[in-house]
A and B are shown apart, each in its own frame.
Chain A
């Protein structure tokens, strides 16, 4: 019998790894992948809890998360391509546009 807390801790661990990766890496695409990691960790948590509680709600939410993740990935990558065309770089230190 797989204990719930193991699954939740696994989810927390993957989430933490994702956060660390987002903060530490400089390559935008790898940062993006870290975001995906975080999303997946959350998915795992939802499914585990839903399964334990015997409802389908967890899985439905995962369904939505996946959809939104797909949309976000598409738009995000399009932005990255657009930036790369203008600046020839995907290094986070060079892309400091998100200010006044």
Chain B
């Protein structure tokens, strides 16, 4: 991948990430997040992971972010006002993030020389290779993940559903006491 493209994408993704964190309007945050995702998708493709890159764009940016958007609109959230919170917590958080970043840098800075570059086989990143690895080495994980998806769907539906009147009546705090004579 041409270096200049990489640097462009890198800068864009960082800026977009900052945008997610710093914007006031949640919708703007969301859009920035979408941009970040797409940028990363392109980076994926640039690395040779074509399938995953497209999946990122379609599933992540396309489906999950849209879900987010629906929820934001559903809740009709106002624009966020100034941040609250104790200075001590903020300070500690800033220090923590900086510390984490520093630690990770220590690992990554020499990684260029430590990890031996291996060549890509033909068809690297194509759907064949992905599915080969997926359904052989990671088969059990695949199956479990599908169960997980099912559970998630059921859970989401159960949680977001409006409770009916009968269900409210059946709650213990509403029926245990006898009604006082008016």
Interface residues of A (CB under 8 A from B): 1-10, 12-21, 23-27, 29-30, 32-34, 36-37, 40, 43-44, 47-54, 56-60, 62-64, 66-75, 77-82, 84-85, 90, 93
Contacts and interface: CB of A to CB of B under 8 A. Distances in A.
Contact of A21 (B20, B134, B137): B20
A71 B17 CA distance: 22
Interface residues of B, number: 89
**Which 9 pairs between the two chains have the least Cβ-Cβ distance?**
A54-B118, A71-B152, A21-B21, A8-B108, A78-B159, A78-B156, A12-B104, A5-B112, A78-B160
Interface of B: 1, 3, 6, 10, 13-14, 17-18, 20-21, 26, 29-30, 33, 36-37, 40, 43-44, 46-49, 51-52, 55-56, 59-60, 63-64, 67-68, 71-72, 74-75, 77, 80, 83-85, 89-90, 93-94, 96-97, 100-101, 104-105, 107-112, 115-121, 124-125, 129-130, 132-134, 137-138, 141-142, 145, 148-149, 151-153, 155-160, 162
B93 A51 contact: no
Contacts of B153: 71, 74
A81 B97 contact: no
B93 to A, nearest CB: 4
A64 B141 contact: yes
